[in-house]
Amino acid sequence: MKKRLLLIGSVQEDLIKVAGLIEKEPLQPVGNAILYQQETIMVPSAYLRSPWMTKHIISTQQNAYALLMLASTAYPLKVYSPNFAKAFRIPSMGLVLFQEKDSLVRRNACLADLSATKPDFLYELNSLSQETVKCFTDKLRVMKKEDK
């Protein structure tokens, strides 16, 4: 079975935006089900908020080469449990999505939330900057090649 990038996030719109960048095509919002695309596995934000659905997120790792946890400045509340990334055997990354207009306080709150999960890598991405988006997607492609 083809390995994909496992995407988890608290804001469905940001999840769709990041998946679209990785897939290189715009994606449409879907219901509350795990969605397998060509390059990504999208886990709905409702799964993250439900303690009973966490086991389904963790079991999905068998089809993934890496985990990408999103935090958005649009939803600066804590959504991840401490050490959440350590429940996965695959490499884990935390990604804070922000725009220039977002406050530094919100960005730091998102970084604190993600760093508490203990990911292997932690990134900040200005979603409006094409240069940072391209750099990040290139890093993901390198990570995928290393997994093979």
The helix-helix angle for 12-23 and 130-147 (nearest 10°) equals 70
98, with CB counted inside 10 A (0-12, 13-18, 19+), is buried
Closest CA to 84 of 109, 59, 114: 114
Integer-rounded Cα Rg, in Å, for the chain is: 14
Amino acid identity for residue 9 in this structure:
G
> Is residue 38 helix, strand or coil?
coil
Rounded to two decimals, the pTM is 0.88
Q: What is the mean pLDDT of each run of 10 residues along the chain (148 residues)?
A: 89 86 82 88 86 86 93 82 92 88 84 92 82 80 74
> How crowded is residue 93: how many other Cβ atoms within 10 Å of its Cβ?
21
Per-residue pLDDT, 126: 83
Per-residue pLDDT, 148: 60
Per-residue pLDDT, 117: 92
d(CA 27, CA 71): 19
Per-residue pLDDT, 94: 92
Handedness of CA 47, 107, 140, 130 (dihedral sign): positive
> Is residue 7 helix, strand or coil?
strand
Q: Which domains does the chain have, with CATH numbers?
A: 4-147 (3.40.50.300)
